Amino acid sequence: MKQLSYLESLSAKTNDFNFKFYKKYDVSNILNSVKKIDDEWNTYDFRQNRKYSERRNPHLYTNTFVIQYHSFDWNFGDKVSSEVKDPAMLDVVSKIVNDLELMCNGVSGRVLLIRLLANRDVSEHTDKGEYLSAVRRFHIPIITNDLVSYTVNGETINMKEGECWEINNQKPHSVLNDSDIDRVHLLIDIFPEINKRSIDTIGTDTV
């Protein structure tokens, strides 16, 4: 199966879309598991502590629970090398991951739970690098409300609990949690049109 080139992938991302709605899932089991997460929210800080020149980190007010990890240090033509960090949680979200892999005819990279703190935001930014241009990025709200908004390229929507949305991460995007509760999304990256033989499966390890 042919893997998209860097330019082909960028071209696909620059098609005229900001959001694409896929379907709605029952996330009640995921919600029950999320409610049990406590100190584990602070295990990984690679998103909120990444260094950004000339501006603040857009993810400063987020926490990350890593279910499956893939390094950003990836180039077109490399194998997909995902590391399962939490097998139990991966099992809980596996139906959605498998469904998106089938829909995209591809394989999953990062699978994360992202908590955005109450009355905080993810400031506007555009994702860079070959990994982030290659993957299709999906968001599924697990905990949310009407005061949480997601904006891509000037278009703003309110994602409802369980809805699966693809965002165009090659366009400027931001999130506002204008509520008094923490928002939690399941984030799933899918490498489209990649043969499963192009995967290196790695066991539990450190980021």
Answer whether residue 1 is part of any domain: no
pTM: 0.88
pLDDT of residue 51: 58
Q: Which residue reads 């968001």 in tokens? A: 139
Answer whether residue 96 is part of any domain: yes
Answer whether residue 17 is part of any domain: yes
Pairwise CA distance, residues 180 & 178, whole Å? 7
pLDDT of residue 45: 82
Q: What band does 200 get if pLDDT is binned at 50, 70 and 90?
A: low
Q: What CA–CA distances, in Å, run from 67 to 20, 41, 83, 192?
A: 24, 11, 9, 20
The answer to whether residue 38 scores a pLDDT higher than 80 is yes
Opening angle at CA 199, ends 193 and 201, nearest 5: 145
Q: What CA–CA distances, in Å, run from 193 to 6, 30, 43, 79?
A: 13, 27, 32, 13
Pairwise CA distance, residues 75 & 24, whole Å? 32
pLDDT of residue 119: 98
Task: Give burial (CB, 10 Å; 0-12/13-18/19+) of 15.
Answer: exposed
Q: What CA–CA distances, in Å, run from 5 to 8, 111, 162, 168, 193?
A: 5, 23, 32, 18, 11
Answer whether residue 117 is part of any domain: yes
Answer whether residue 207 is part of any domain: no
Answer whether residue 83 is part of any domain: yes
pLDDT of residue 193: 84
Mean of the pLDDT values across residues 61-69? 96
> Total domain count for the chain?
1
Mean of the pLDDT values across residues 89-113? 97
Q: What band does 204 get if pLDDT is binned at 50, 70 and 90?
A: very low
Answer whether residue 115 is part of any domain: yes
Q: Can you give the CATH number for the domain in which 193 is found?
A: 2.60.120.10
Mean of the pLDDT values across residues 55-59? 79
Structural domain containing residue 29 = 6-46+56-202
Answer whether residue 51 is part of any domain: no
Mean of pLDDT over the chain: 88
Task: Give burial (CB, 10 Å; 0-12/13-18/19+) of 88.
Answer: exposed
Length of the chain measured in residues: 207
Query: Closest Cα partner for 84 from 60, 110, 62, 103?
Result: 110
10's enclosing H/E stretch is helix 6-13
The answer to whether residue 11 scores a pLDDT higher than 60 is no
Q: How far is CA 112 from the centre of its chain?
A: 6
**In this structure, are residues 152 and 21 in contact, taking their beta carbons and an 8 Å threshold?**
no
